[in-house]
Structure 1
Amino acid sequence: MRVAFVSLFAPGHGDTPARNRTRRVARGLADRGHDVTWLCARWWGGDHDVFEEEGITYRSVTDDPSPTAFAARLPLALRRVSPDVIHAVNTPPTPGIGAIVAGALSRAPIVVDWWRDHPADSVRRYRVLARSADAVTTPSRTTKTRIREYGADGDDVRVVPESVDFGLVEDAPVDDRFDAVYSRRLDRHANAETFLLGLAELRGRDWTAAVIGDGPERARIESMANDLRIADRVTFLGDRPLRERVSIFKGTHVVAATATWETFATELLWALASGCVALVEYQADSSAHELVEGRERGRLVTSPAELADAFVAVGQLERRSIDRDFASYDHGAVLDQYLSTYQTLVD
């Protein structure tokens, strides 16, 4: 199958969760023998229009990342590629709309993968994009609701979650040092305060905890642990490579997810696959609760006090270093969901 990815920005312009998701899908397709072309603004050096990496052929539509110029030149670029299916992203929306127009001209179906909205972009363009795509994929039901508010038919919006390398989870050693862990970039959405306040309620109990991640809020969060008089029991590990994080998850009983905003709680998914019991604080702008609803090894909380109570309550659950229920989130299994969407549209 010939698949054309349409994204003004590529990971070469800088890593973001959305770009990494697109690259993972493109690379997975290439590894399975599909013909994969990524149409984007040029991010590589030199004056050549084509760059190949990891089985993906990157073709520059424009030298500069101008959404309008990119959309205008896209129909010709797609005609040269002649794809069976077009996979576009939603942000910025103008190139996605250009892909829809080009797809109509070439009769190639278009799938829009929708990560999140950018507040600087036009709501009207998002509405056009949501209503005009042949199918929309998105990582969570929370975001699906947003897309339906733009006017998309719910039957055309499919939840395709983020994924993990389950083989890595199986192979990683167990680092058995902590009873509880929080793992996320420490930015303004992190809300690690709930985690620390919940632990502070349990000063009289025996526990150790870790905070994995770095970011602009780290110093303030470390200061808070000191003010709560639990700094001697909370280890701030900073950024750690994925394999090391998985080893820590495999040796830890409880993971807490308290961020106020998550399109998809990927770190929580890794921890769940690694056997952790999850304590998730419900937040209106986070989809983290979707990973634990209805699961015995998960609890939803709404306050630090409830988190503390849940931490005590789940103490009776066995410690695990892997949870095979999450093998369905393996990279290969999730890639199959994209392929199924493509094939349905092509047929």
Structure 2
Amino acid sequence: MRVAFVSFETVHHRDTETNRRLQSILELVRDRGHEVHHFCCAFWGGGHDVFERDGVTYHGVASSLDSKSAFLLRLPLALSAAAPDVVHVGERPPEQVVAASVGGTLARAPTILEWYGDGGVADGWWTRRAAGRPDRIVAPSNLVATWIRELGIGGDAIDVVPNSIDLDRIQRVSPDDRVDVIYARRLDEDANLESLLLALAELRDRDWRATIVGDGPERATYERLASDLRIDDRIEFAGDLPLEERIAAYRGAHVFAQTADHCVFPTEMLWALAAGCIGVVEYHADSSAHELVEGWDRGFRTTSEDELTDAIVAAGDLEHREYDDRFAEFDRDVVRDRYLTAYRALQESSGFL
């Protein structure tokens, strides 16, 4: 199958959650042996319109990020010339969704819209027009699917497909030292780490240790808060760690705490839960993290710091694990097969086969 991915900006331009999501899907499809083309703004030098890297053919429809208009104008014909079986487009900018759907029509290929929703879903004219153009929309969580439905899109047109993890990789990594609580996220204005620190401070008369994984502009603020709360001697701020080291830390930890204000899909939490952690989630309206622990006997959903404290204590009574096969549906092979099945179904339903 020949799959055309479309995003004006790529992970090679800027490392964002939205760009990483599309890149990860692209790699899943490529690794199954399908022919993958990515239509984007050129990120390579040499003045070549086509660039090969790691089994992917990149098409520089525009020469720079200042050439968005040229990208939109050239995209339909570029897609038509490539004759893909499926067009898979990211949601930003929304104008590219319209251009990609025109290209898909010219190429007689269905269009699927990957709507990750990082940063929310803006209710604008182009956004609404883009939402109505593809044959199918994919969101990472029920939270984002709800945002899309609020634009007037019927729920039957939206599939929820999570970010994927590699369960085999988890089992290959040896557990790190035991800690009671672990938190992992970029330490920015949405991290809301203070909720966890305040909850842990209520437990200063108990024996516990915690690890904070991640770095960011608010790290110094959180380190000062831990010192002010007189719990800094029990908390390690580990900074950014490679994935292998994060997995090892999760396999050694007992509880993973998720308190961030905004999260369209809690990928780090998913790695931790599959690595055996108990999940303790502070509910927020703009976070989907609670979706991973609903109806699960090793997950706690809280709405206040007092409840967060109680959940951490209650989690201490549950057994320590280093792996949990409950999360098999999130494995990369399963998620990839969901996309490939969707591609084939779209081809059949659109009559392009």
TM-score exceeds 0.5: yes
TM-score range, shorter chain: over 0.9
- Of 262-271 and 325-334, more deviation after overlay is shown by 325-334
What TM-score, normalized by structure 1, do the two folds share? 0.97
**Secondary structure at 2:104 match in 1:** helix
The aligned runs of 1:299-314 (5 Å cut-off) are: 299-314=300-315
Tell me how far apart the structure 2 counterparts of residues 259 and 117 of structure 1 sit (CA, whole Å): 14
Deviations 1:36-74 (A, max 9, x none): 100000001111111111211001101022333211111
Q: Which runs of 5+ in 2 are unaligned?
A: 349-353
Q: Do the aligned residues in 1 keep the contact of 2:41 with 2:60 (CA within 8 Å)?
A: yes
Instruction: Give the aligned partner of residue 30 of structure 2.
Output: 30
Q: Do the aligned residues in 1 keep the contact of 2:29 with 2:36 (CA within 8 Å)?
A: yes
Tell me how far apart the structure 1 counterparts of residues 107 and 30 of structure 2 sit (CA, whole Å): 23
Tell me the amino acid that sits aligned with residue 72 of structure 1: L
Q: Do the aligned residues in 2 keep the contact of 1:92 with 1:118 (CA within 8 Å)?
A: no
Tell me the amino acid that sits aligned with residue 279 of structure 1: V
**Secondary structure at 2:153 match in 1:** coil
The aligned runs of 1:45-124 (5 Å cut-off) are: 45-65=45-65, 66-116=67-117, 123-124=124-125
When residues 301 and 117 of structure 1 are mapped into structure 2, their CA distance, relative to the original with a 3 A threshold, is closer
Tell me how far apart the structure 2 counterparts of residues 308 and 121 of structure 1 sit (CA, whole Å): 35
When residues 119 and 25 of structure 1 are mapped into structure 2, their CA distance, relative to the original with a 3 A threshold, is closer
RMSD: 1.3
Tell me how far apart the structure 2 counterparts of residues 54 and 32 of structure 1 sit (CA, whole Å): 13
Tell me how far apart the structure 1 counterparts of residues 97 and 148 of structure 2 sit (CA, whole Å): 14
Q: Do the aligned residues in 1 keep the contact of 2:78 with 2:103 (CA within 8 Å)?
A: no
Instruction: Give the aligned partner of residue 218 of structure 2.
Output: 217
Q: Do the aligned residues in 1 keep the contact of 2:39 with 2:58 (CA within 8 Å)?
A: yes
**Secondary structure at 1:316 match in 2:** coil
Percent of pairs with identical residues: 49
**Secondary structure at 1:232 match in 2:** helix
Tell me how far apart the structure 1 counterparts of residues 207 and 119 of structure 2 sit (CA, whole Å): 44
Tell me the amino acid that sits aligned with residue 273 of structure 2: L
Tell me the amino acid that sits aligned with residue 315 of structure 1: G
Aligned residues: 347
Instruction: Give the aligned partner of residue 41 of structure 2.
Output: 41
Q: Moved runs in structure 1, 4+ residues, more than 4 A?
A: 117-122
Residue 104 of structure 1: how far off its partner (Å) = 2.3
Tell me how far apart the structure 2 counterparts of residues 97 and 242 of structure 1 sit (CA, whole Å): 36
Residue 120 of structure 1: how far off its partner (Å) = 10
When residues 226 and 117 of structure 1 are mapped into structure 2, their CA distance, relative to the original with a 3 A threshold, is closer
What TM-score, normalized by structure 2, do the two folds share? 0.96
Tell me the amino acid that sits aligned with residue 260 of structure 1: D
Instruction: Give the aligned partner of residue 6 of structure 2.
Output: 6
Instruction: Give the aligned partner of residue 279 of structure 1.
Output: 280
Q: Do the aligned residues in 2 keep the contact of 1:91 with 1:117 (CA within 8 Å)?
A: no
Residue 121 of structure 1: how far off its partner (Å) = 6.5
